[in-house]
A = this chain, B = another copy of it.
Amino acid sequence: MVEQILDVIRGVAGVKLLDYSSDPSHNRTVVTFVGGPEQVKTAAFLAAQKAAELIDMERHRGEHPRIGATDVIPLIPISGVTMEDCVRLARELGREIGEKLQIPVYLYEEAALRPERKSLPKVRQGEYEGLKEAIGRPERRPDFGPARLHPTAGATAVGARPPLIAYNINLGTDDVAVAKAIAKAIRGSSGGYPSIKALGIMLKDRNVAQVTINVCNYREVPLHRVLETVKSEAARYGVNVIGSEIVGLVPMEALLDAAAFYLRLEGFRQDQVLEKRIHEGG
Contact = CB atoms under 8 A, between A and B. Distances in A.
A273 B245 contact: no
A263 B227 contact: yes
Interface residues of A, number: 44
Nearest to A245: B266
A79 interface: yes
A282 to B, nearest CB: 8
Can you tell how many copies of this chain the complex includes?
2
Interface stretch (A44-52, A101-109, A130-138, A236-244): A236-244
Given A18-B278, A79-B275, A242 B264 contact: yes
A93 to B, nearest CB: 21
A163 B272 CA distance: 13
B246 A268 contact: yes
Shortest 8 CB-CB contacts between residues of A and residues of B: A262-B262, A255-B259, A258-B259, A243-B266, A259-B259, A252-B275, A249-B274, A243-B264
Given A16-B278, A79-B275, A246-B265, 10 more contacts: A18-B277, A244-B263, A244-B266, A249-B272, A251-B274, A252-B276, A255-B256, A255-B259, A258-B259, A258-B262
